Amino acid sequence: SSAASDVYKRQVYVTVDVETSSELFRTNFSASSIEGTPVADRSGWKIIACDTEGIHTGTYDLLFDGDEASYIRTWGGPVSFTVDMGRDYDMTGMYFVSRSDYGAKYAPNEVMIECSLDGVDYQMLGTPSQSASSISVSLPDAYIALYGSQKVRYLRINASYGSNMGTGEFNIYAK
């Protein structure tokens, strides 16, 4: 910033240079700092693609059933799915409720995220990770927050876990 004064009026003028981040995903944040609110009605959301061969327990539709105890678990691979949310959203973040059977709770280590408005052309948003502090974990929940928002209708998600992969619920924050 810099300052200049007007000798005659005894006023001081200050200019502030704002540094903006080119990063899309916030780091070192908490769930309460995510703008917007979770989508309340996910009844129109549909899984349009998923890895069906690596499933150990459950189905991908359980991600939207509102029951945190039900989950999709894979055999050693990521939890991978594409969801059509039925309409455009201004997404400001997302969260995963981890599988929590037998008292164990597992949050994703990293999540590769792609988005689209038409279901044909997908844009890579990035891969937030716990190691980069762009996934905030408060078990059983894991949160991802964006600087600003991203207009989305379709999301491709590839959530990697260290072991015992499993996700009970998935939702986005929107404004």
Q: Angle at CA 147, nearest 5°, toward 146 and 149?
A: 70
Structure confidence by residue, pLDDT tens digits, 31-62: 999 999 999 999 999 999 998 878 888 999 99
**Among residues of the chain, what percentage have pLDDT more than 70?**
85
Rounded Cα distance between 163 and 128, Å, is 18
- Report phi then psi at 103, rounded to 5: 80, -5
**Cβ-Cβ contacts under 8 Å for 53 (sequence gap 6 or more):** none
Cα-Cα-Cα-Cα dihedral sign, residues 106, 24, 148, 118: negative
Rounded Cα distance between 131 and 69, Å, is 27
Res 64: pLDDT? 96
Instruction: Record the pTM.
Output: 0.84
Res 18: pLDDT? 39
| Cα 43–chain centre separation | 19
Rounded Cα distance between 66 and 62, Å, is 8
Res 99: pLDDT? 83
What is 44-64 written as a DSSP string?
A: T-EEEEE--TTEEES-GGGGG
Rounded Cα distance between 151 and 138, Å, is 26
